[in-house]
Amino acid sequence: MTAIKRIAILTSGGDAPGMNAAIRSVVLAAHHFHIDVVSFYHGYNGLIHADNINHAKLLTLNDVNNIIHRGGTILKSARCPEMLTENGLKQAAKTLTLENIDALIVIGGDGSFNGLLALKEHWHGQLIGVPGTIDNDLDGTDFTIGFATAVNTAIEAIDKIRDTADAFERIFIVELMGRHSGHITFNVGIACGAEQVLSFENFSVDDKQVKLKQLADEIKSAQENRHGSYIIVIAENLWPGGAIELAKELKVAASMDCTACVLGHIQRGGSPVPKDRLLATKMGVAAVQAIIEGKNNIMIAEQNSAICHITLEQAVEHHKVVSQQLVDAQENILALTAQNQY
């Protein structure tokens, strides 16, 4: 096996708390094996524009000192439409070749990994993905880096919203991130004791009018039987127009005032919780070990608390769904609430 001398690393797509912890562990592990780590900044843009912009840097131990607790990514991140083009892919491959890179580690989500899959047609070094996305929507891994922190951040925000909602006996509709995944929505909704959780697993836009009437009836029934707040948690990209539009439609359909609150990018920021720091550290070390073992075209994953490898093709298949136990739990809670058994 050819000795590995230089590894490249970049963060791509949406940032996720714990990315810095993963970068740190890659550098520490590589240093242990006397391997250089070359970082490229602003995602794949750093590879494509390395000729005319100072995007590349050799990472030292000092560079990753005291970053495990920091949110965001010290390597910066960005979308890169040029990775969808033949010229962009060829330029990225050219940069890796000129820099004498043996393997490339990309920390990101499915878009970032699709970039890796496209790049393998133009570059023959080792390609390793580390799942960093708050959406938790990559197949083959129980959790992705950043998910636990995003859930925690949203829970803290909704707990505060609940205080105001209780004070005014008001209905709040809180929209959560996740793109087209309901993992954040269901975990947060149940943990916050939300009266309603609307996500891709229990709602179809074809049933919009039926759901609107159902919501109105259930809210009215709840208000007649008790005083207090009513929280609806909704996944982004679910209801046409989002939480703001749903609030407007409930106002028209049921003559009830609702306050819409879109948490947005607050869910991506902040110091990673211990679970994300640990996951990122384990995955970063595993990525370096996989490279040394000659692995290629894989994503580092965790299943049942054990690190494993999944092919990049498998990782982006989008078969991963929210646990049916969570969906059933919310439905059971809703049924019990309707019967005033709470």
Calculate helix-pair angle for 183-191, 324-338, nearest 10 degrees: 40
């697993």: which residue's tokens? 201
Q: Give catalytic status of residue 51 as yes or no.
A: no
Q: Which of 15, 36, 135, 139 is catalytic?
A: 135
Instruction: Tell me the angle at which helices 147-168 and 274-292 cross, rounded to the nearest 10 degrees.
Output: 160
**Active-site residue list:** 135
